[in-house]
Each structure stands twice: as structure tokens, then as C-alpha cells.
Amino acid sequence: MTRAILVATLLHERILIIEDESLLRLTIRTRLAREGFEIREAADAKSGLAAIDDFRPHLVLLDYRLPDGSGLEILKSVVERHPDMVVILMTAYSTVDNAVAAMRLGAYMYLNKPFDTEELVLHVQKGLETTALRREVERLRLGTGLADTRSGIVAESQGMRDILAIVAKVNTVGSATILLRGENGTGKDVLARLIHEAGLRATAPFQNITCTALPDSLLESELFGHERGAFTDARQRKPGLLELADGGSVFLDEIGDMSLPLQAKLLRFLEERSFRRVGGTEDIRVNVRIIAATNRNLERAVELQSFRQDLYYRLSVIPIVVPPLRERQEDILPLARLFLTRFSSEFKKPVKGFTAEAETCLKAHPWPGNVRELRNVIERAMILGGDTHIDAADLPPELRTTALSSSTPLVPFRLPVEGIVLDDLERSLVQQALERTSNNQTQAAKLLGITRDQIRYRVEKFTQGS
């Protein structure tokens, strides 16, 4: 990873400041914001731990002494649950024993107060560079670019993690044909490019074409090329996308809408890895991976004889179904933050994040247009919204209506006169949610209004404590 790419990557990193001194928090936030980082603050241990689960920072600046807990306790929890998260411990009560304890628990470094903010920036950048390089090494080791979101892929949900695990395995081979299926706007084109760029063919060309964008005659010419004089306007020989992509990948979007005659020619290429230019007599052999995508029901199209059964089976060597956004609840806010960061940079607006009300609206919406709709909503909000945060009022009316209609009044919990043991109540609720969902942690987390990582943490806590 070059230094320029590394620096560009760090601009999208998230930093959480857990510090009870408001003036110091403001000082740190102001300085780090000038470097382009996304910042969130917490004034105590409880809100800090909640922010870690919600905000998923890449780096935590953690005070050693907090009003409701010890920084070492938070450090231990962070390292256990998020081993790749960088933690810099800050303290005005420095001792050798404390420093040794912090480093043994997994702190990146131990910073004595008072400190120079320029020194802090340097340590933050070095800490983030360390983890960025670690992610890059892992990406190269696996042959996949799944370790970060620069590609536009977010995989907080189990469904997307499963897809990326398949991609990692497929990319160790580099030649298998892949069929991406899913609704419009789910990001099939982004996933196709990731498959190429994270695989063995990354240094070779990536060519893509939408099968409905051109009439049949032009689409055939674009794919296979043509010889001079093949048709009226063919004044010179032209290589097609398959030829230009030799050694690389060709992405055929909306393959389900390709005409039957072209389907036959594509099938021949997939079986023989050779083709002829339009008007040509010579077979041309190329080494190209085909990645196709469709939102159509191909099984139904085969029944209706509008799609060739043999081509369907030939394309479905590695079928991957990209889930709609409504089935990827854990990905909604991370994707929204990713788009916010991009548009903030593009429009030169220092928008730092979303208000709680805006996040509620985003999570409640069913997103019929999927990731593409979410991207457009964030772009609109960035253009028309406020200068520091996106609020619910900045979102389209239908999102606010959805959030309002989906909210149900809570039955107030009455604390018994004799009191309760909070851990026992929490354990009971988690057990009930898991029983109701047949131990599906993702669905159980939705019932409790928490993330999958949060419920996994509680399951582990209660298991260890039993």
C-alpha cells in the first residue's frame, strides 16, 4: 500500500474520544477534525461502551479514570470484543505499573497528560496506519479486498459476511464464472468490481456492459468486436470487450434480458473460450472471467423459454444472491456513514454525522430501492441539509412517515417494590429472544433493538457467568 493511498484511506477512519473533561474533549475533537477524521465523544464509561458498539470506531482515545469506571476495564472489554481496534490510553496519573498493565491488556500506547495535540495527532496517525497496513496484509493474504469499505462494500450483516467469505474462496481460483442475483440497487455492480480487484486478475482489465443498454447488433459488436466491412459503418476492425479484457474480467449486467441469439453465442464462448468477431472467420481465444448479474427470475425465464437452460447452468457455477437492504439492517447505518463521508468530501461540507432521530428514520425505512436509494437519500440530505449533522427534517417525508408509523408505544416496566437483579432481567430477555427465533442471534438482536455483536457479547457474558 503506497503512502498516498494509505493517507487517503485514513481520512475515512472513525475516532471515539472517551474523556470526562469537556474542555479536553473539545480540544482533541477540534484538532482531529481538521485532519478529516470522523469524531464521536463520550463522557463516561457507560456511554463510551455504547458508542463503541454503535459507532464502531477504528481508534479509541480513552481516559484512564472515568466517573463510572476504569479505563483499564474498558480497554479489556474492547480488546476482547474488537481485537483490531486501536486504543490509546490517556492519563494524568502515570505510573510504571499502570503503563505495563495497559500495554499487557492490548493498549497501542500510553499517553501522559498534559500532552501536545500535535504529538497526539502523530500517534493517532501511526496507530491507524498500523491497522490499515494489517488489513492490507490480510487482504493480500486472502486474495480479497474485504477488509475495508473503500470499495463501497459494507458487511456488518451476517448475510454480506457470508457472501464475502464465498468471494474470498472463489478468488483463490480466479477463473470460475459467477452469477450475481438480487433486486435492483443492491450493489451487484460494486460487488462484481470488488471480485475482480480483490482477486488474481486485479492487474488485468475489467470491462463491463449493460445488456439492455444497446440493440442486439451493437451489443454483439461491443462484446465480440467486428471486422472492417462487417456492416455499413464498420470502417475498420474493432476489438470487442472480451478481447480487450484478455487476462481480466467482463461484467455482463442484466444478463437476463439478453436476446436468445446472443445467448447462444455467449454460451459457445463459455464452453470453448473462443469467439469470432462480427464478420470474421478466425477463432480468437482469450482468458477471461465472466461475472454476470440479473434481477430476473431466471428459473421462470427458462420455463417461459426466454432464457436458455444450458446457458443458465453454465452461468451458475458460482451463484451469489445479494440480499436486499431491508434484510441487512446492520448495514444501513454503516452504509449511510460511508456515503456521508464521501459526499462531505465531495461537497466540501463538514457534516459530522446523523442525529439520533435521523438514524431512527434510516433504520425504520424498508428501502425498496436498496443501497442505491440510500445513497441518493444521503446525497440529497447533504445538499439540502444542515452544516454539522443530518437531522430527520433533512430526510425525505416518506422516511419520517415510515419511522412514525413503525413506532409502537412501549408498555412501561414497573420496578417491583423489592427490586430486581438487572443482570437476571437482561439474561431472561436474551433467552426469550433466542428461544423465539430458534437461536438466530441476528433475529433475536432485532427483537431487542440491539446489534448482533451486542447480543453475542451478552450470550458470551452469561455463558461464562453460569
User: What pLDDT score was predicted for residue 453?
Assistant: 73
**Does this chain's domain 3-141 share its CATH topology with 158-323?**
yes
Is residue 407 over pLDDT 90? Answer: no
| CA-based nearest residue to 295, from 167, 189, 154, 373 | 189
Contact 89, 62 (CB under 8 A): yes
User: What pLDDT score was predicted for residue 43?
Assistant: 92
Mean pLDDT of 146-174: 75
Who has greater pLDDT, 207 or 132? 207
* Residue 204 φ then ψ, to 5°: -95, 170
Non-local CB neighbours of 156 within 8 Å, separated by 6+ positions: 56, 330, 331, 334, 451, 452
Is residue 110 over pLDDT 70? Answer: yes
pLDDT for 304-321, tens place per residue?
A: 999 999 999 999 999 999
Distance CA 97, CA 129 (A): 28
SS3 of the chain: the string is: CCHHHHHHHHCCCEEEEECCCHHHHHHHHHHHHCCCCEEEEECCHHHHHHHHHHHCCCEEEEECEECCEEHHHHHHHHHHHCCCCEEEEEECCCCHHHHHHHHHHCCCEEEECCCCHHHHHHHHHHHHHHHHHHHHHHHHHHCCCCCCCCCCCCCCCHHHHHHHHHHHHHCCCCCCCEEEECCCCCCHHHHHHHHHHCCCCCCCCEEEEECCCCCHHHHHHHHHEECCCCCCCCCCCEECHHHHCCCCEEEEECHHHCCHHHHHHHHHHHHHCEECCECCCCCEECCCEEEEEECCCHHHHHHCCCCCHHHHHHHCCEEEECCCHHHCHHHHHHHHHHHHHHHHHHHCCCCCEECHHHHHHHHHCCCCCHHHHHHHHHHHHHHHCCCCEECHHHCCHHHHHHHHHHCCCCCCCCCCCCCCCHHHHHHHHHHHHHHHCCCCHHHHHHHHCCCHHHHHHHHHHHHHHC
Q: Which range, of 57-71, 123-137, 192-206, 325-339, averages the lowest pLDDT?
A: 123-137
User: What pLDDT score was predicted for residue 466?
Assistant: 55
User: What pLDDT score was predicted for residue 260?
Assistant: 95
Mean pLDDT of 327-352: 88
Q: How confident is the model at residue 465 (pLDDT cuts 50, 70, 90)?
A: low
In one-letter notation, the amino acid at residue 311 is: L
User: What pLDDT score was predicted for residue 406?
Assistant: 54
The CATH class of the 3-141 domain is alpha beta
User: What pLDDT score was predicted for residue 263?
Assistant: 95
Boundaries of every domain in the chain: 3-141, 158-323, 326-406, 422-465
Select 326-406's CATH number: 1.20.1440.230, 3.40.640.10, 3.30.450.20, 1.10.8.60.
1.10.8.60
Distance CA 91, CA 111 (A): 7
User: What pLDDT score was predicted for residue 404?
Assistant: 56
In one-letter notation, the amino acid at residue 400 is: R
Q: Which range, of 23-37, 163-177, 290-304, averages the lowest pLDDT?
A: 163-177
User: Under CATH, what is the fold of the domain 158-323?
Assistant: Rossmann fold (3.40.50)
Q: How confident is the model at residue 127 (pLDDT cuts 50, 70, 90)?
A: confident
pLDDT for 28-73, tens place per residue?
A: 999 998 888 889 999 999 899 888 877 888 899 999 888 988 888 8
Is residue 137 over pLDDT 50? Answer: no
Is residue 151 over pLDDT 50? Answer: yes
Distance CA 206, CA 167 (A): 17
Q: How would CATH label the architecture of 422-465? A: Orthogonal Bundle (1.10)
Is residue 302 over pLDDT 90? Answer: yes
Strand partners, 315: none
Is residue 145 over pLDDT 90? Answer: no
Is residue 131 over pLDDT 80? Answer: no
